[in-house]
Amino acid sequence: MRFKTFSSPHMAPARSVNRVMGQVLLALIPGTAAMTWYFGWGVLINVSLAVTVALACEALMLLMRGRTLTPHITDLSAVLAGWLFALAVPPLTPWWVTLVGVGFAMVMAKHLYGGLGYNPFNPAMVGYVVVLISFPREMTLWLSPSVIAELNLSLPQTFTAIFAGTLPDGLTWDTITAATPLDRIQTGVGQAHPISEIQASPFFGYLGGVGWEWIGLWFLVGGLWLLKRGVIGWQIPAAMLGTLTLLSGLFWLINPETYASPLFHVFSGAAILGAFFIATDPVSASTTPRGRLIFGAGVGALVFVIRTWGSYAEGVAFAVLLMNMMVPLIDHYTQPRVFGKTTAGKEG
Amino acid sequence: MNDTPYGKIIADGLWYNNAALVQLLGLCPLLAISGTVVNALGLGLATTLTLIASNVSVSFIRNWVRPEIRIPIYVLIIASVVTAIELAMNAYFHELYLVLGIFIPLIVTNCAIIGRAEAFASKHTIPKAFVDGLIMGIGFTLVLVALGGMREVIGQGTLFDQAHLMFGEAARGLTVTLIEDYRGFLLAILPPGAFIGLGLLLAIKNLVDDQLEKRATRRAEALREAQA
């Protein structure tokens, strides 16, 4: 039997930007679908609105910068940024919040730094943090999955809620919105309630909050598919979730009544979404293999610190942005050894 | 002794060598106090007064101070001027003084002031030092007010909010609400808003300079062609 032999170099086909982005978008679909299942049509409306705004801002900035539209706007990076932003904000976020957040993300965080490949910060997270800081009230309008399932807001009703800010008769914002599980833990622990008592409320499921745990699981499925396809490296998600588990586990072992369990930490909020989809942004994350481990570990540790001792209940966005700032330093100290040279860069 | 014409002093102070936009000096008060127009104006005027007084004093003693000890002398002069202004503001604009707080005494650390003393006042006559202090101060104040206006409009949708702090009770009506029922954009009022705003102002200034330069080259070329 003869094997066909080829001469070196054996080069893998280059991955184009829009292929990578397209696969990431595909991987987001199961999680987004789960989120729509639990939180209603608002999620889909937000995604379409955010993607539209992102594409419009991208086109506008490309025109202003004198670039051609076609290769840049079809690379799907704007679509991904808008989509991630929409997943981060509450399902009935007013339209103008999305407009401000996505606009800021695309114009200030992406194009003013030079566009795709030059932005030091993850644009979607910059946009989210801007609205989180600027519109604290709107950003707390998370819905309770159980109430939403009962109400079953129709598509037009959700539409008016987002665009006109009015709810169907007989409903008020106070009755349909509810604190997220992370918020509940934070306020509860702040008032010295034991965690077991807080988690006895019907908002909590087996792993995280009701609904949230399934959303997390479906994002995990999408993320694992991305890993298998080789679109993202294993280092950042593994380091981030590992550090989060390790730290929260350590504190949980010390006192399970004031520190939530590691499973709860991983399966609530945006931990999984952040680990696989946000922190792995190829532009703003670290690029060296060892650097990615440090970067992921830093994000995980910061998420735990912010959730446990910070004034915000969820810290993925802040953690990612803070670690984005460290990337040049991390990359500088983790340069891999070049073949034929010593680690110090001398001829070996 | 340098002899700078008055026209150049004015153009430099307001535009080409603006303390905030070109020298990038005094950024700490610029960023901290530019939340509203009134605060910005108050701090800008206090800084202008300090600049004038310190410039004139430094210029007055410039021939008697030995170069080895000039910096401590400038610091002493600036510190005395700032202390006097702080006391005066405490007496006449007490509420504004409370709002501006630590940033009034901190004018003493504003690099723009010692920078002008060293770079200009110590080498020029008293009238020129006076004009330089005035114009530099106005240039700084204008940037401060522009940034304050930007942050106030975007941040809370008003202009000249709390004008009575500065102009007395009669000025309460000066407050303009540009956007009714505005929810506020906190980011503009928080420190990041100051940094982003200053960045945008710098970008605008550089853009204008670029355009001016392009126009000048075009005009020069046209002139050369006309002569040829």
Share of chain B above pLDDT 90, in %: 21
In this prediction, residue A295 carries a pLDDT of: 95
pLDDT of residue A344: 64
pLDDT at A58: 93
C-beta of residue A312 within 8 angstroms of C-beta of residue A321: no
Residue B183 pLDDT class (50, 70, 90 cuts): confident
What residues in chain B have their Cβ under 8 A from chain A's Cβ atoms?
183-188, 190, 192, 196
Asked if pLDDT for residue A119 goes beyond 60, the answer is yes
- Listed by start position, the domains of chain A span 17-178, 192-331
Question: Is position B1 within any domain?
Answer: no
In this predicted model, which residue has the larger pLDDT, B7 or A82?
A82
Q: Is the pLDDT of residue A332 over 80?
A: yes
Q: What is the pLDDT of residue A7?
A: 67
| Predicted confidence (pLDDT) at residue B14 exceeds the cutoff of 80 | yes
Report the pLDDT value the prediction gives residue A280, as an integer from 0 to 100: 92
Q: Tell me the pLDDT tens digit for each residue of A148-187.
A: 777 777 888 888 888 888 887 777 777 778 788 888 888 8
High-pLDDT (> 90) share of chain A, %: 46
Residue B207 in tokens: 């853009």
Overall average pLDDT of the B200-204 stretch? 90
- Tally of domains within chain B: 1
Is the CB of residue A204 less than 8 Å away from at least one CB of chain B?
no
pLDDT for A238 equals: 95
Best to test chain A binding among B154, B179, B181, B187 (most A CBs inside 10 Å)? B187
Is residue B170 within 8 Å of B49, Cβ to Cβ? no
Query: What's the whole-number average pLDDT of chain A?
Result: 87
| Segment A302-308 mean pLDDT | 93
Query: Is a pLDDT exceeding 60 seen at residue B1?
Result: no
Contact residues on chain A for B190, CB-CB shorter than 8 A: 133
- B177's enclosing H/E stretch is strand B176-177
ipTM over 0.85: no
Contact A135 B186 (CB under 8 A): yes
Of A199 and B87, more confident: B87
A76-85, A94-103, B190-199: lowest mean pLDDT where? B190-199
- Residue A146's pLDDT is what? 72
Q: Which residues does chain A have within 8 Å of residue B185's beta carbon, measured at their own beta carbons?
A: 100, 134-135
What's the confidence (pLDDT) of residue A219? 94
Which are the contacts of B82, defined by CB distance < 8 A and separation ≥ 6? B50, B104, B105, B107, B108
A322 to chain B, any CB pair closer than 8 A? The answer is no
Q: Which residue has the tokens 């910060």?
A: A121
> Which of the listed ranges A48-57, A305-314, B196-205 does the model predict with the highest average pLDDT?
A48-57
DSSP label of B62: T
**Taking CB atoms and an 8 Å cutoff, what residues of chain B touch A136?**
186
pLDDT top residue among A208 and B40: B40
Q: How far apart are CA A52 and CA A82, in angstroms?
A: 8
Does any domain span residue B197?
yes
Query: In the 3-class helix/strand/coil scheme, how is chain A assigned residue by residue?
Result: CCCCCCCCCCCCCCCCHHHHHHHHHHHHHHHHHHHHHHHCCHHHHHHHHHHHHHHHHHHHHHHHCCCCCHHHHCCCHHHHHHHHHHHHCCCCCCHHHHHHHHHHHHHHHHHCCCCCCCCCCCHHHHHHHHHHHHCCCHHHCCECHHHHHHHCCCHHHHHHHHHCCCCCCCCCHHHHECCCHHHHHHHHHHCCCCHHHHCCCCCECCCCECCHHHHHHHHHHHHHHHHHHCCCCCHHHHHHHHHHHHHHHHHHHHCCCCCCCHHHHHHCCCHHHHHHHHCCCCCCCCCCHHHHHHHHHHHHHHHHHHHHHCCCCCCHHHHHHHHHHHHHHHHHHCCCCCCCECCCCCEC
- Say if residues A103 and A86 touch (Cβ distance below 8 Å): no
Note whether residue B109 is domain-resident: yes
pLDDT in tens, B137-147: 999 999 999 99
Distance of alpha carbon B57 from alpha carbon A15, whole angstroms: 68
If one compares A316 and A164, the residue with the highest pLDDT of the two is: A316
Residues 6+ away with beta carbon under 8 Å from A292: A233, A235, A236, A239, A285, A286
Residue B19 lies in a domain: yes
Tokens (6 digits) for A259:
């520190």
pLDDT at A10: 65
Q: Does A121 reach chain B within 8 Å, measured CB to CB?
A: no
The stretch A102-109 carries a mean pLDDT of 93
What residue of A is the nearest CA neighbor of B196? Answer: A108
* Across B103-120, average pLDDT: 85
Residues of B in contact with A133 (CB under 8 A): 186-187, 190, 192
Going by pLDDT thresholds of 50, 70 and 90, the confidence category of residue A59 is: very high
Q: How far apart are CA A278 and CA B66, in angstroms?
A: 61
CB B34 within 8 A of CB B144: yes
When pLDDT is averaged across residues A248-275 and rounded to a whole number, the result is 90
Identify the closest residue of chain A to B182 by CA–CA distance.
Answer: A135
What six digits make up the tokens of A121? Answer: 């910060």
- Residue of B181, B186, B202 to mutate when probing chain A, most A C-beta within 10 A: B186
Judged by DSSP in three states, B181 sits in: coil
Task: Please compute Rg for chain B using Cα positions.
Answer: 20
In a domain, B46, yes or no: yes
Contact B186 A108 (CB under 8 A): no
CB contacts of A134 in chain B (<8 Å) are: 184-188
Residue B39 domain-assigned (yes or no)? yes
A47/B93: higher pLDDT = A47
Three-state DSSP state, B98: helix
The per-residue pLDDT for range A213-242, each reduced to its tens digit, is 889 999 999 999 999 988 898 999 999 999
Contacts of residue B183 in chain A, CB cutoff 8 Å?
135
Specify the pLDDT at position A14. Answer: 64
Any B CB within 8 A of A134 CB: yes
Reply yes or no on whether the pLDDT at A145 is more than 90.
no
What value does the mean pLDDT take over residues A34-54? 92
Q: What is the pLDDT of residue A6?
A: 63
pLDDT classification of A74: cutoffs 50, 70, 90: confident
By the 10 Å C-beta count (0-12 exposed, 13-18 middle, 19+ buried), B13 is classed as: buried
Which of these, A283, A206, A306, lies nearest to A24 by C-alpha position? A283
Q: Which domain, by its residues, includes B185?
A: 6-227
What is the average pLDDT across B41-51?
90
For residue A142, is it left (φ>0), alpha (ψ between -120 and 50) or beta? beta
Q: For residues A316 and A272, what is the distance between their CA atoms, to the nearest angstrom?
A: 10
- Residue of B183, B188, B190 lying closest to A135 (CB–CB): B183
Any B CB within 8 A of A251 CB = no
Q: Distance, in angstroms, between B187 CA and closest chain A CA?
A: 5
Range scoring the smallest mean pLDDT among A97-101, A225-229, A319-323, B112-116 = B112-116
